[in-house]
């Protein structure tokens, strides 16, 4: 053990002992306070104490950022906490663990790991940043209760409507379910019935006469809307699937929908009727060169 009266001049010039990776110079005026000097030249202030029979070393900060008087004051505060039964090193570790398991940290890990598989990853991140993080992003995910989620959804529903509340709930459910399978102790606070909109089965379909009216009206539209509406009627495809169709997806009378646009996340090839092919042919004749335009 090297004991020395620490001064500002000594702190600037101190070097590790020859052959040592690190040398700690303990302050003779404040027991438990020292300057740790690495063989690389890095210097930091430390406080040494015992808590529950175990020796602990608390790093106060870099000597390049703290002057000696500031570091000594912090050391006195730390040693004073120890005298009253605290364990600053254990407290710091608990804080670091809490930060690691905060809702924000868990969400970011989820997005980092799963984001490339999710088409709406950017939208989910925006929802979290705008509506969830300000409310309890810094809280441990384990500490978020069912009532917390309910109050959050109440606020969103009042301010932005039930659809936005349900969208936020869906994102939180995904994150919490993802975290639950990675934890032995966590149980998601989200339960069935927390949604804000009543989901009803669709029992209304267009009659033949109504379908004819839609088709006739679509024929009067300019492209591409005319072809898009009629193509949707003929194929029952989703609007987003058809609207983003590329010529390269077509092969004769077959249409290969990429996995990223299909609802099940897998590539699907659909046969097209002659009427659907005819609609697409009308779009082709109304478009500039297909070589110059990738999208239909």
**Position with higher pLDDT, 46 vs 4:** 46
Query: How many beta carbons lie within 10 A of that of residue 46, not counting itself?
Result: 19
pLDDT reading at 286 higher than 60 = no
Burial class of residue 96 (count of CB atoms within 10 Å of its CB; 0-12, 13-18, 19+) = exposed
* Cα–Cα distance for residue pair 168/156, rounded to 1 Å: 9
Q: In what order do the strands lie in the sheet with 43-51?
A: 2-4, 22-27, 33-38, 43-51, 54-62
Cβ proximity of 254 and 267 under 8 Å: no
Instruction: Please compute the mean of the pLDDT values over residues 228-234 and round it to a whole number.
Output: 90
Provide the token pair at 294: 């990738």
Half-sphere exposure of 268 (CA within 13 A, CB side): 13
- Long-range CB pairs of 266-275, under 8 A, 24+ apart, other chains included: 270/235, 270/237, 272/235, 273/234, 273/235, 275/234
Bond before 224 cis per omega within 30 degrees: yes
Per-residue model confidence (pLDDT) at position 296: 64
pLDDT in tens, 79-127: 999 999 999 988 887 776 667 889 999 999 999 988 877 778 888 899 9
Instruction: Please compute the mean of the pLDDT values over residues 51-58 and round it to a whole number.
Output: 89
Provide the token pair at 117: 């598989």
Per-residue model confidence (pLDDT) at position 290: 46
pLDDT in tens, 62-72: 999 999 999 99
Per-residue model confidence (pLDDT) at position 97: 64
**Highest-confidence range of 142-151, 192-201, 242-251, by mean pLDDT?**
142-151
Mean pLDDT rounded to a whole number for the chain: 87
Instruction: Please compute the mean of the pLDDT values over residues 187-193 and round it to a whole number.
Output: 92
Cβ proximity of 124 and 171 under 8 Å: yes
Per-residue model confidence (pLDDT) at position 207: 86
Instruction: Please compute the mean of the pLDDT values over residues 264-286 and round it to a whole number.
Output: 81
pLDDT reading at 212 higher than 80 = yes
pLDDT reading at 285 higher than 70 = no
Q: 8 CB contacts (<8 Å, ≥6 apart)?
A: 67, 68
DSSP string, 100-127: HTBHHHHHHHHHHHHGGG-TTHHHHHHH
Burial class of residue 159 (count of CB atoms within 10 Å of its CB; 0-12, 13-18, 19+) = exposed
Per-residue model confidence (pLDDT) at position 246: 87
pLDDT band at 291 (very low <50, low <70, confident <90, very high): very low
pLDDT band at 295 (very low <50, low <70, confident <90, very high): low
Q: Give the angle subtended at the CA of 128 by the CAs of 123 and 133, to the nearest 5°.
A: 160
Instruction: Please compute the mean of the pLDDT values over residues 210-216 and round it to a whole number.
Output: 90
pLDDT band at 292 (very low <50, low <70, confident <90, very high): very low
* Cα–Cα distance for residue pair 96/90, rounded to 1 Å: 10
pLDDT in tens, 121-176: 888 899 999 999 999 888 889 899 999 999 999 999 999 999 999 999 999 999 99
**Domains along the chain?**
2-86 (3.30.160.390), 103-180 (1.10.150), 208-286 (1.10.443.10)
């Amino acid at each position: 053990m090297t004991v020395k009266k620490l001064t500002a001049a000594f702190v600037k010039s101190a070097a590790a002992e020859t052959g040592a990776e690190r040398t700690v110079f303990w302050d003779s005026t404040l027991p438990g306070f020292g300057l740790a000097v690495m063989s690389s030249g890095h210097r930091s202030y430390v406080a040494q104490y015992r808590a529950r029979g175990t020796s602990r070393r608390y790093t106060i900060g870099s000597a390049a950022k703290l002057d000696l008087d500031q570091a000594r004051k912090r050391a006195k505060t730390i040693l004073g906490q120890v005298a009253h039964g605290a364990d600053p090193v254990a407290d710091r570790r608990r804080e670091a663990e809490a930060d690691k398991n905060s809702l924000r940290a868990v969400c970011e890990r989820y997005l980092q790991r799963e984001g490339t598989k999710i088409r709406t990853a950017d939208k989910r991140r925006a929802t979290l940043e705008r509506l969830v993080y300000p409310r309890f992003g810094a809280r441990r995910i384990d500490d978020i209760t069912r009532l917390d989620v309910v109050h959050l959804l109440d606020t969103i529903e009042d301010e932005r409507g039930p659809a936005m509340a349900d969208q936020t709930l869906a994102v939180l459910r995904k994150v919490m379910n993802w975290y639950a399978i990675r934890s032995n102790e966590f149980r998601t606070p989200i339960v069935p019935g927390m949604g804000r909109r009543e989901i009803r089965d669709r029992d209304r379909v267009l009659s033949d006469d109504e379908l004819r009216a839609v088709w006739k009206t679509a024929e009067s539209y300019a492209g591409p809307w005319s072809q898009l509406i009629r193509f949707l009627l003929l194929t029952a495809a989703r609007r987003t699937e058809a609207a983003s169709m590329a010529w390269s997806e077509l092969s004769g009378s077959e249409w290969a929908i990429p996995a990223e646009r299909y609802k099940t996340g897998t590539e699907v090839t659909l046969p097209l009727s002659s009427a659907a092919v005819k609609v697409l042919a009308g779009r082709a004749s109304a478009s500039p060169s297909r070589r110059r335009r990738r999208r239909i």
